[in-house]
Amino acid sequence: MTAPRQEASKLGQFSWALFDWANQPFFTVVTTFIFAPYFANVMVGNAIEGQAAWAFTQSTSGILIALMSPFLGAMADAGGHRKPYIFAFQLLLGLGCAALWWAYPGRPDLIGPISAAVVIATVGAEMSIVFNNAQLPHIVRPERMGWLSGFGWGLGYCGGLIALFMVLAVNDRPLFGLDPKTYTLERLVGPASALWLAVFVIPMFLFTPDMASQKLTLWQAARQGGRSLLDTLKKIERPFFTPIYDFCSPRMVFGRIILLGDAASSARPHMGFGVAKAGDDARALADALAAHDDVDRALAHYQSVRAPISERIMRHGRKLGTHLGVDLATDEDRATWKMLQDYRAMMDWIAVPNFLAAS
């Protein structure tokens, strides 16, 4: 990668990083902590069916993003400008978030439209991030790209946490006459995220320089980008192969060094268990240190308790992986695959970790 002719100003670089701050509340309070549980448990009204409905919005979004991003990315490369694409997808994100205000409880007729709004917002968020990231090599020297990228990432997480704390601060309290019985606060996080976005994304558009236009019409950029994408795909031997790995360390304690979370074991992504396991590892370590005066005995106890659970989680992830229908080597694999074709069984196996109680 060649160095840019001239770096963007410090203000332009900071404004680029502020983009993450502007977008992160959507991921924190909408898709993770506040609106998503409300959608599944209250709006849908059934935890398993609600989780399945939410998973459908995320999988649909993922498919659309996977289909759109290579072509639109190649099209943007051909045309030069990135900001028009960012603006269009940020607009979709804002509109999708604003629509969540109408996610009233006890209205099953609104589940479809609200699901569509979540898909629109998610696609808008992820696609605009793709194009914003594409600006990075053109605003900073290669040796400073990692620093600026990390600064933006950290700034985004700070913004998400601040937004979450603001929501929690007014939780269960009447705010400007809002009624908690109608889950006004949970519905308000969507429009509030849209407002946050509209305010804090402005500096990126004003102060971060865009790439020079290649003077192509939209149709010309689409044709040239499409040809470039096809040429790239022809040169890739296995374009749709994505390996999935798991592992479990046979030891979690090395003297006074301990492993926890993903460092100790990592299950396949079918589990959605990483954060919960890391938190439980930390709790088990704290309990072991509190229960034993001798540190070595405490760490040995931690190893004896958590190592079997880590192994069990990893193996359970492999069982869940059979739902893909790939490499079904045994009768048990084939029976598990058949059972997991029912989304209710799949959600029960993921959402209810009864397997941890196994001996």
Within 13 Å, how many C-alpha atoms sit on residue 302's CB side? 31
Give pLDDT tens digits for 62-118. 999 999 998 998 888 888 889 999 999 999 999 999 999 999 998 999 999 999 999
Domains (range + CATH), the chain = 10-234 (1.20.1250.20), 247-357 (3.50.50.60)
pLDDT band at 178 (very low <50, low <70, confident <90, very high): low
pLDDT band at 355 (very low <50, low <70, confident <90, very high): low
Pairing state of beta strands 265-266 and 247-248? antiparallel
**Is the Cα dihedral 143, 148, 149, 151 positive or negative?**
positive
pLDDT surpassing 50 at residue 181: yes
Residue 257 bridge partners (DSSP)? 254
Rounded to an integer, the average pLDDT of 32-45 is 92
Which residues does 330 contact at the CB level (< 8 Å), separation at least 6?
none
pLDDT surpassing 80 at residue 186: yes
What is each CA distance from 235 to 1, 109, 240, 335, in whole angstroms? Answer: 20, 47, 13, 39
pLDDT band at 170 (very low <50, low <70, confident <90, very high): confident
pLDDT band at 1 (very low <50, low <70, confident <90, very high): very low
Rounded to an integer, the average pLDDT of 207-217 is 89
Better pLDDT: 97 or 269: 97
Residue 266 bridge partners (DSSP)? 247
pLDDT surpassing 50 at residue 2: no
For the CA atoms of the chain, what is the radius of gyration?
24
What pLDDT does residue 359 have? 43
Rounded to an integer, the average pLDDT of 259-267 is 88
Among 128-142, 171-185, 206-220, the range scoring the smallest mean pLDDT is 171-185
70 burial (CB, 10 Å; 0-12 / 13-18 / 19+) is: middle
Give the whole-number percent of the chain exceeding pLDDT 70. Answer: 92
- DSSP assignments along 114-169, one per residue: HHHHHHHHHHHHHHHHHHHHTTGGGTS-HHHHHHHHHHHHHHHHHHHHHHHHHHHH
Q: Which range in 18-22, 243-247, 314-318 is most confidently predicted, on average pLDDT?
A: 18-22
> Can you list the alpha helix ranges (DSSP code H) found in the chain?
10-25, 35-38, 47-79, 83-99, 111-133, 142-169, 184-200, 202-207, 218-234, 274-291, 295-321, 331-339, 343-351
Q: How high does pLDDT run on average in the chain?
A: 88
Give pLDDT tens digits for 276-312. 788 899 999 999 999 999 999 999 999 999 999 889 8
In this structure, the number of other CB atoms found within 10 A of the CB of residue 344 comes to 12
pLDDT band at 227 (very low <50, low <70, confident <90, very high): very high
Q: List phi, psi (to 5°) of 135.
A: -80, -20
- Contact between 134 and 73 under an 8 Å Cβ cutoff? The reply is yes
> What is the distance between the alpha carbons of residues 197 and 30, in angstroms, rounded to a whole number?
13
> What amino acid is encoded at 31 in this protein?
T
Residue 312: both structure tokens together: 């069990």
What pLDDT does residue 289 have? 94
> What is the distance between the alpha carbons of residues 246 and 321, in angstroms, rounded to a whole number?
11
Among 49-58, 144-153, 173-182, 253-262, the range scoring the smallest mean pLDDT is 173-182
> What is the distance between the alpha carbons of residues 16 and 7, in angstroms, rounded to a whole number?
12
